[in-house]
Amino acid sequence: MAADPSTSTTAAPAFASDANSTESWSARVRSLTRLGRHREALALLRDGDPYPPPHALALPAAVISCTALSLPSGVAQIQALGYKRGLLPSSDAYLLSALLSSHSRLGHLRRAHQLLDEMPLASTPPTTLRTAFNSLISGCAMHALPAACFAIFRRMRAAGAPFDAVTLMTLVPAAPHTAVPQLHALAGKTGLAAETTVANCLISVYARRGAGLARQVFDEMPVASRDLVSWNAVISAHAQNGLAVDTLDLYGRMRGHDGVGVEPDAVTLVGVLSSCAHLGARSVGRGVERYMQERLPGFRANLQLCNSLINFHARCGSLPQAQQLFNEMPRRSIVSWTALIAGYGMHGHGDVAVNLFQTMVSEGIRPDNVAMVGLLSACSHAGLYDEGRKYFSAMESAYNLRPTLEHYTCMVDLLGRAGRLEEARELISSMPMPADGAVWGALLGACKIHKNVEMGEEAFEHVIKLEPTNAGYYVLMANIYTDTGQLDGVVRIRAMMRERGLKKEPGCSYIEHKGRVHLFMADDHSHPQAKRIYELVIKLEQMVKEKTDGTAGTEGGRAVEGHSQKASGPLIGFHSEKLAVAFGMLNTDDSEIVVIKNLRVCGDCHTFLKTVSAIANRAFLVRDASRFHRFEGGACSCKDYW
C-alpha cells in the first residue's frame, strides 16, 4: 500500500519523535484512521517494522480504513491475521464488530453472517454478542435490507443477547412504518425510550408521516434530556409537514427558556428558514440571517443553508438579496437554481426565470421534476404560453422526465389562464394518470377568470368528488355564478356548503412593523388603530371610486372573503389586505409596504391597490396565495394577469 504523498508529509513530523513500542505504533494507526487519513494508516501498518507484529488495537482501525478505501482484500488479510492470533472468532469484540460492519458495508453479507455463525454463542460475553449483532444489523440497514435486519434481531433475541439503544436506533429507521409503534413500545418497556438517541430517532422516523407522533415523543422527553438533535428533529418534523407556525413556535422555545444550553446550528436554521419562507415571516427570517452572519461565519459553504436562505429571500419579497446570495455562493446545486427560478416566477419575471433555466442547463445541470415545476409555474404567472408548452414537452423529449400531477396542474393553469380552456381540458383527458383535485381546481380557477360557467361546473363536479371538504373550490364556483349573474347558482353552492358544514377559510393579511407582526382579518376591528385604519380605507375607497368611476367594472371576487352578503351594498369591502396596507400607510413614510396574504387577492382589492399606489405615491408589495403583486404608479407587476 503506497502512502498518499500529499498527506504523508504532513503526518511525519507529528510522529517523528514517537517511541517504537507496538502500542504507540498502533495508536498512530488508530489516530490516522480517526482523522480519515486511511491510506497513511494502512501504509504505516504495512511498512512499519513487522516485529513485533501490530498490536491488536491497530487491527479494528485498519479494517475501518480498508473499508473506507473499498479494499476487501485488505479486510480479508486482517481477518486471517485475527484468526492466526486467536482474536477471532470471538475473543476480540472490537475486531469482530469492525469486521462484521466492514463485510456488511462492502456488501459481503454472507461473509458477515459466516463470522457470526462461527461465534460460540454460549461462551461469548453478552456485551460482545450485542455489538456483533448490532454491527450486522446496521450493515443490513445500510444496504436497505429491512427484512434481514429484523431476522437478525430475532436471532439476537433467541440467542439471549441483550439489545441496547444502538440496536433500536438502527432498527427504527429500517422498519416499515407500521412496525415503528411496536419498536417504540419495546423501547418503552425496556427503558430505552428514555435514551436521548432513541427518542431522537423515533422523532425523525415518525416525522415522515406527519408531525403528531414526532411531537408527542419530543413532548414526553424530560426537558434536560433534549439535545440539539432533539430540537432539530422536532423542528424539521414540523417544517417538513407544513406546520410553519409550530416550527417558529418551537424555534422560539428553543431560543428561550426551554432550550437552555442548546444553540441552533445550520440544521435548525434550514428548517426555520423554510417555515419563514412559507409564512412570509420576514423579521424572523432576517433574525436567522443575522444569527448566521454572527455565529455561523462559514455558512456560505453550507449549500443547504444557503439554498434555504435564497428561498427565504425569494419568497419573502427580497429578490435582489436572493440573487446576490446566489451570485456569491462558491458552489451551487440544482436546488439553488430552482429556488431562484421559482422566486422570479412568483414575482412575474417569467423571462428572467426562463433565462436562468437556460443558463442552468448550459452549465450542465440536468433539470429535475422540481425545477420544472418552478419553470412551468413561472411561465404560467407571466403568461408565457409558448415557452410553457415548449418546456413541458421538452420534459420527456430532452430531459427524460415524466410529468407528474404537479406539472399537469401548472400546464392546466397556464393554458386555462391564457384563455385556452378547451386545450386545458384536453390536456386533462390526455393525462396518463387520473387527475387530482389540484388539476381540476386549476381548470376551475381558469373558468373563474374567463367566466365560463359550463366548463366551470364540469370542473367543479370533479373537484368536489376528489376534495369534498376543500371550501375554496365551492367559493370559486360561487364566484363564477356571482360574476355571471346567476344568483340561484350562488344560493345553491351556499346551501351545499352549509349542508356539508364547510366554512370558507377566513382571509387574513399581515404586515411587519418595527419587528412586530400586525395581523388583519376581513372586517376586523381588533387592531388598536382600527378606527384610523377604517377611516383611511373609507377615504381611499372614495378617492378610488372617483378616479375609476365607470371604468372599474364589477371585477368579481367580492364573495371571496368577509361578509359577502353585502355584495349588493356600497362599494366598500374591508378585505384584510386593504386594512394591512392602510396600517402600513399610517405608520410608515415612503418605504415599500409589504403585505403577506393567505388567499388570492380579489379583483376589487387589486384595482383598489393599483389606484391607491398612484394616488398616494406609494409602492405596495403583496404576496398572495400564489404570487407577488407589486403595485406602483397605478399599475401592478402582474400586468393584471393573475
Partner DNA sequence: GTAGGGTTAG
Site for DNA in 205-224 (CB under 7 A): 207
Beta carbon nearer to DNA, 159 or 334 = 334
* Site string (405-444) toward DNA, x via CB under 7 A: -x--------------------------------------
> What's the closest the beta carbon of residue 100 comes to DNA, in angstroms?
7
Q: Pick between residue 164 and residue 592 the one whose CB is nearest to DNA.
A: 164
Is residue 223 within 8 Å of 258, Cβ to Cβ?
A: yes
Closer Cβ to DNA, 161 or 599, answer by number: 161
Which is nearer to DNA, 42 or 455 (by Cβ)?
42
Cα 267 to Cα 228: distance, rounded to the nearest angstrom: 10
236 binding DNA? (CB under 7 A):
yes
Nearest in space to 238 (alpha carbons), one of 255, 219, 260: 219
Min dist CB 619 to DNA, Å, is 23
CB of 296 to DNA, least distance (A): 12
622 strand-pairing partners:
595, 629
Core vs surface per residue 11-20: b (16+ CB within 10 A) or e:
beeeeeeeee
Which of the 8 DSSP states describes residue 210? B
User: By C-beta, is 197 or 486 nearer to DNA?
Assistant: 197
Binding mask 2-41 for DNA (x = CB under 7 A): ----------------------------x---x-------
**Binding segment toward DNA, per CB under 7 A, in 227-235, 419-427, 508-516, 610-618:** 227-235
Binding residues for DNA, rule CB under 7 A, total 73
* CA distance linking residue 413 with residue 428, whole number of Å: 11
DSSP-derived secondary structure letter, 451: T
d(CA 344, CA 317) in angstroms, rounded, equals: 10
* 90 sits near DNA (criterion: CB under 7 A): no
Judged by CB under 7 A, the stretch of 149-157, 307-315, 317-325, 487-495 that binds DNA is: 307-315
| 586's grid cell | 399610517
Per CB under 7 A, which of residues 245..304 are in contact with DNA? 265-268, 270-271, 274, 277-278, 303-304
Q: Which stretch binds DNA (CB under 7 A): 285-293, 371-379, 461-469, 521-529?
A: 371-379
**Only segment of 51-59, 178-186, 425-433, 629-637 that touches DNA (CB under 7 A):** 51-59
Question: By C-alpha distance, which of 224, 226, 230 is closest to 204?
Answer: 230
Least Å from the CB of residue 6 to DNA? 25
Q: Residue 602 Cβ, how far from DNA at the closest point, in Å?
A: 22
Alpha helices in 296-349 (DSSP H): 303-315, 319-328, 334-346
CB of 5 to DNA, least distance (A): 26
Shortest Cβ 567–DNA spacing (Å): 32
Residue 333 phi, psi dihedral angles, 5° rounding: -115, 175
**Shortest gap between Cβ of 519 and DNA (angstroms)?**
22
State the burial class of residue 99 (Cβ atoms within 10 Å of its Cβ: 0-12, 13-18, 19+). Answer: buried
- Chain centroid offset of residue 522 CA: 30
One residue of 404, 484, 486, 529 binding DNA per CB under 7 A? 404
Shortest spacing between CB 612 and DNA, in angstroms: 29
Neighbours of 366 (CB within 10 A): 12
Q: Does 445 bind DNA (CB under 7 A)?
A: no
Residues 613-642 that bind DNA (CB under 7 A): none
Please report, as residue ranges, which positions from 583 to 602 form the binding site for DNA (by CB under 7 A). none
Taking the least distance from each CB to DNA, the nearer of 299 and 615 is 299
Nearer to DNA, 57 or 497 (CB): 57
The DSSP annotation for 24-70 comes to: HHHHHHHHHHHTT-HHHHHHHHHHS--SSPPPTTHHHHHHHHHHHTT
- Verify binding: residue 201, DNA, rule CB under 7 A: yes
**40 within 8 A of 9, measured Cβ to Cβ:** no
Binding mask 113-152 for DNA (x = CB under 7 A): -----------------xx--xx--x---x----------
Alpha-carbon distance of 205 to 9, in angstroms, equals: 44
Rule CB under 7 A: is residue 342 a binding residue for DNA? yes
Residues 61-80 that bind DNA (CB under 7 A): 61, 64
- Which of the ranges 198-206, 323-331, 389-397, 458-466 carries the binding residues for DNA, by CB under 7 A? 198-206
- The helix or strand, by DSSP H or E, that contains position 629, with its residue range, turns out to be strand 628-632
Phi, psi (degrees; rounded to nearest 5) at 459: -60, -40
Q: Which stretch binds DNA (CB under 7 A): 231-239, 446-454, 521-529, 553-561?
A: 231-239
Q: Which of 29, 43, 66, 165 binds DNA (CB under 7 A)?
A: 165
Provide the minimum distance between the beta carbon of 51 and DNA in the complex, in angstroms, as a whole number.
20
Q: Does 308 bind DNA (CB under 7 A)?
A: yes
Give how far Cα 249 sits from Cα of 253, 512, 638, Å. 6, 17, 34
Phi/psi zone of residue 624: left (φ > 0), alpha (ψ -120 to 50 degrees), beta?
beta
Please name the residues in contact with 376: beta carbons below 8 A apart, sequence gap of 6 or more. Answer: 388, 391, 392, 407, 410, 411, 414
**Sign (positive/negative) of CA torsion 224, 227, 230, 235?**
positive
